[in-house]
C-alpha cells in the first residue's frame, strides 16, 4: 500500500490541508486535488474513485472531505482502515470541523498524519498513541525552562538585596555616623530597581565604592553576568518580531500606553443638542447578477448636554419615500408625529434624558426600515470575472456606483486561494493591499463621486476555482441617506429661545457582500 497524500478539502474543492508522503511536484498534487470535486458523483454509496493513475478514498466529515490519494495497486481495505484512523484523529485537534478550525490546527494535524502514515505506509498505532507521540515532553526543554526561571528568581533576589542595602545606608547617613556617604544623597532604592547600569558609578568612582564595606562592585559584576542571558533572549525576541513585521505579519505588542499613542476618537459634541441620523445597510448581491437581499435600518438619536435644554420637541422632515416604514419610541407622542412630523414626549412636562459629552449613543427617538428587490437602489455594484488561462487565473473586478451617493473610504475585500506570494496586480483604479494571513486582497478607493463612478482592477494568481474569489465583502460610508430625513428645528416647550443644535448624518455598511 502506498499513500501518495492525505488531504482535507471543502466540498467546494478548496484545499485546506495536504500532506504528501512521496516525492511529487506541487503542480501534480494541486492538479489531483482540483480534479477530485469534479469526479464525485451523487447518489453513490461507495467512497472511492479510480482514475487511470490514482485512486481517491474519501470520507465526508460534516462540510469537509477527508481524502487519501493512493496508487491503484494499494490494498483498498488497508486504505479504508487508514482513512478511519485519520477520521478519528482529526476531531481530537479541531473543536469544530470547519475551515477556520482546520486552518488553526493545520500543523498539529500534519504532525498527527505523520505519526499515522510513514513513507506512504500505515503505522500500527491508535488514536491515543498518536496524541501521546505528538505531545511528548522534552526533558531538555524542561531543564532549560528551570534554568531560565532560576536566573530570573536570582536576579530578583539581587535587586531586593541591593535595594535593602541602599536603604540602610541612607538611614546611617541621616544619623551622621559616617560622612563619606554623600554620594548617596541623590540615590534611592527606586532608582536602583529601575536601572542597575547606574550603579557603575560606585565601582569606578573615588567614593565608598572602592572599599569593601558593602561589596557592591563584586555583587554588581555577578549580577551583570547572570543577567546577560536574559538580555540576549530580549534581543533575540525583538529581532524575531521585527522579521515577522517585515513579512507583513501584524504583531500585537504589550506596551504601556503613552500620551500621543492613543487612537484619536471622533470629536465629542459641543453643541447643547446633537441629533444623529444613521442608516445601516445590509445587501447581498448575486455573483451572476441580481439582488438577493436589500435591507436598510435607520435610527434618529438625540443627545442633550444640559438639563436646561431638555424640555424640547424635534421637528423633522422626511423624504417622502413610500417604501420606508417609521416607528417611534414608545414614549413619543405618535399622533403629534403623524400629523405634524414633530417628535415630542407624551408627557410635555417631562424632559428628555441628558448625557455626558462622551456618551455618543444618545436617546433613540425614531427608527425606520426599508426593504427592496429593485437592483437600481443598490449604491455600489461589483462584478467579478475569473478566467483560467494556462497556469494562471486572470481576475477582473469592476465597480459601478450610481449618482445617488458619494461613497467614502470604500474597501472591497476579495478572498483569494492560499498563495505563497502576493498576487500580481496589473491594473487598478485606487490602491491595493494583500493580507497574507487571511489571504485577502483589499482594494481601497478613498472617494467615489462624479469623477469616478466606475473603476476596475485586474490581477493574476495561480490556477484556482472561480468560487475561491467569493464572497466579496464591501465597506463604505456616505453623508446622505435613503430616507433623506432632516431635522428642521428644535422647538422649546418653555418661553426661551430655540437652543442651538447640530445634526450628523451617515450611511454605513453593516453586511455588504457579493455571494
Which pLDDT value is given to residue 251?
Answer: 52
Cβ neighbours for 297, distance < 8 A, ≥ 6 positions apart:
279, 280, 282, 367, 368, 369, 510
SS3 content of the chain, % helix, strand, coil (to 5): 30, 35, 35
The C-alpha cell 445587501 sits at: 283
Q: How far is CA 283 from CA 292, 378, 445, in A?
A: 8, 8, 19
Q: Assign 174 a pLDDT band (cuts: 50, 70, 90).
A: confident
Cβ neighbours for 136, distance < 8 A, ≥ 6 positions apart:
none
Q: Where are the alpha helices (DSSP H) in 58-138?
A: 76-93, 99-104, 106-116, 127-134
Q: What is the mean pLDDT of residues 206-213?
A: 40
The C-alpha cell 485546506 sits at: 16
Neighbours of 25 (CB within 10 A): 9
Q: What cell was used for 99?
A: 475551515
Which pLDDT value is given to residue 461?
Answer: 93
Residues 148-171 as b or e (16 or more Cβ within 10 Å = b): eeebeeebeebeeebbebbeebee
Which pLDDT value is given to residue 237?
Answer: 55
Task: Tell me the per-residue pLDDT of 363-415, one tens digit each, with 9 for 90 and over.
Answer: 889 999 999 988 889 999 999 999 988 889 999 999 999 988 999 999 999 99
Most confident of 96-110, 130-144, 352-366: 96-110
Query: DSSP string of 2-62?
Result: -EEEEEEEETTS-EEEEEESS---HHHHHHHHHHHHHH--SS----EEE-SSEEEEEEEET
Which pLDDT value is given to residue 208?
Answer: 40
Query: How many whole angstroms separate alpha carbon 452 and alpha carbon 401?
Result: 9
Mean pLDDT of the chain: 80
Which pLDDT value is given to residue 245?
Answer: 56
Which pLDDT value is given to residue 238?
Answer: 59
Which pLDDT value is given to residue 458?
Answer: 94
Domains, the chain, in order of start with CATH, read 3-135 (3.30.450.60), 267-514 (2.60.40.1170)
Q: Which of 115-129, 186-200, 357-371 has the lowest mean pLDDT?
A: 186-200
Q: What is the mean pLDDT of residues 347-364?
A: 73
Q: How far is CA 212 from CA 36, 175, 192, 209, 454, in A?
A: 80, 21, 19, 7, 82
- Taking Cα atoms as reference points, which of 466, 468, 473 lies closest to residue 385? 466
> 188 pLDDT exceeds 50?
no
Q: What cell was used for 316?
A: 423633522
pTM higher than 0.85 for the full model? no
Strand 54-61 and strand 392-400: pairing? unpaired
- Taking Cα atoms as reference points, which of 107, 26, 21, 108 lies closest to residue 71? 21
Q: Assign 323 a pLDDT band (cuts: 50, 70, 90).
A: confident
Do residues 102 and 16 make contact, with C-beta atoms less than 8 angstroms apart? yes
Query: How many whole angstroms separate alpha carbon 370 and alpha carbon 375?
Result: 14
Q: Assign 267 a pLDDT band (cuts: 50, 70, 90).
A: low
Which pLDDT value is given to residue 102?
Answer: 87
Query: How many whole angstroms separate alpha carbon 394 and alpha carbon 277?
Result: 42
Which pLDDT value is given to residue 115?
Answer: 87
- Taking Cα atoms as reference points, which of 27, 14, 119 lies closest to residue 67? 14
Which pLDDT value is given to residue 493?
Answer: 84
Helix, coil or strand: residue 35: helix
Q: What cell was used for 150?
A: 532560576
Percentage of residues of the chain with pLDDT beyond 90: 28
Which pLDDT value is given to residue 219?
Answer: 47
Q: What is the mean pLDDT of residues 103-116?
A: 88
Query: How many whole angstroms separate alpha carbon 512 and alpha carbon 283?
Result: 5
Kindly give the interhelix angle for 127-134 and 76-93, rounded to the nearest 10 degrees: 50
Which pLDDT value is given to residue 412?
Answer: 96
Which pLDDT value is given to residue 48?
Answer: 85
Amino acid at each position: 500500500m502506498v499513500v501518495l497524500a492525505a488531504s482535507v478539502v471543502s466540498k467546494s474543492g478548496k484545499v485546506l490541508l495536504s500532506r504528501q508522503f512521496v516525492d511529487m511536484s506541487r503542480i501534480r498534487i494541486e492538479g489531483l486535488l482540483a480534479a477530485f470535486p469534479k469526479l464525485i458523483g451523487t447518489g453513490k454509496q461507495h467512497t472511492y474513485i479510480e482514475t487511470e493513475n490514482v485512486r481517491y478514498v474519501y470520507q465526508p466529515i460534516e462540510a469537509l472531505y477527508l481524502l487519501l490519494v493512493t496508487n491503484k495497486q494499494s490494498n483498498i481495505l488497508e486504505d479504508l482502515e487508514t482513512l478511519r484512523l485519520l477520521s478519528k484523529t482529526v476531531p481530537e485537534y479541531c473543536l469544530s470541523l470547519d475551515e477556520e478550525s482546520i486552518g488553526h490546527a493545520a500543523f498539529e494535524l500534519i504532525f498527527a498524519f505523520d505519526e499515522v502514515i510513514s513513507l506512504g505506509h500505515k503505522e500500527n498505532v491508535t488514536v491515543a498513541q498518536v496524541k501521546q507521540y505528538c505531545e511528548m515532553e522534552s526533558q531538555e526543554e524542561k531543564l532549560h525552562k528551570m534554568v531560565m526561571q532560576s536566573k530570573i528568581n536570582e536576579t530578583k533576589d539581587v535587586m531586593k538585596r541591593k535595594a535593602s542595602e541602599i536603604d540602610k545606608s541612607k538611614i546611617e547617613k541621616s544619623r551622621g555616623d559616617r560622612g563619606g556617604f554623600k554620594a548617596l544623597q541623590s540615590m534611592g532604592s527606586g532608582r536602583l530597581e529601575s536601572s542597575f547600569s547606574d550603579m557603575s558609578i560606585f565601582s569606578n568612582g573615588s567614593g565608598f565604592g572602592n572599599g569593601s564595606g558593602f561589596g557592591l562592585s563584586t555583587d554588581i559584576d555577578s549580577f551583570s553576568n547572570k543577567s546577560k542571558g536574559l538580555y540576549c533572549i530580549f534581543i533575540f525576541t525583538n529581532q524575531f518580531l521585527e522579521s515577522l513585521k517585515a513579512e507583513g505579519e501584524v504583531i500585537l505588542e504589550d506596551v504601556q500606553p503613552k500620551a500621543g499613542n492613543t487612537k484619536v476618537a471622533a470629536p465629542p459634541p459641543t453643541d447643547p443638542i446633537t441629533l444623529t441620523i444613521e442608516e445601516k445597510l445590509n445587501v447581498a448581491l448575486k455573483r451572476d447578477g441580481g439582488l438577493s437581499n436589500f435591507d436598510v435600518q435607520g435610527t434618529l438619536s438625540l443627545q442633550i448636554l444640559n438639563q436646561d435644554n431638555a424640555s424640547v420637541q424635534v421637528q423633522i422632515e422626511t423624504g417622502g419615500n413610500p417604501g420606508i416604514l417609521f416607528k417611534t419610541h414608545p414614549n413619543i407622542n405618535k399622533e403629534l408625529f403623524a400629523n405634524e412630523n414633530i417628535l415630542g414626549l407624551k408627557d410635555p412636562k417631562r424632559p428628555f434624558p441628558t448625557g455626558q459629552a462622551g456618551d455618543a449613543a444618545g436617546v433613540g427617538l425614531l427608527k425606520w426600515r426599508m426593504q427592496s428587490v429593485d437592483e437600481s437602489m443598490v449604491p455600489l455594484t461589483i462584478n467579478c470575472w475569473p478566467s483560467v488561462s494556462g497556469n494562471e487565473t486572470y481576475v477582473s473586478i469592476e465597480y459601478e456606483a450610481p449618482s445617488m451617493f458619494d461613497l467614502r473610504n470604500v474597501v472591497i475585500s476579495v478572498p483569494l486561494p492560499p498563495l505563497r506570494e502576493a498576487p500580481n496586480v496589473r491594473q487598478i483604479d485606487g490602491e491595493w493591499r494583500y493580507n497574507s494571513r487571511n489571504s485577502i486582497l483589499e482594494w481601497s478607493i478613498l472617494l467615489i463621486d462624479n469623477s469616478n463612478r466606475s473603476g476596475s482592477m485586474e490581477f493574476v494568481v495561480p490556477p484556482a476555482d472561480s468560487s475561491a474569489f467569493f464572497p466579496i465583502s464591501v465597506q463604505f460610508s456616505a453623508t446622505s441617506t435613503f430616507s433623506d430625513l432632516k431635522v428642521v428645528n428644535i422647538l422649546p416647550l418653555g418661553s426661551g429661545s430655540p437652543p442651538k443644535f447640530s445634526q450628523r448624518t451617515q450611511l454605513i455598511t453593516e453586511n455588504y457582500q457579493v455571494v
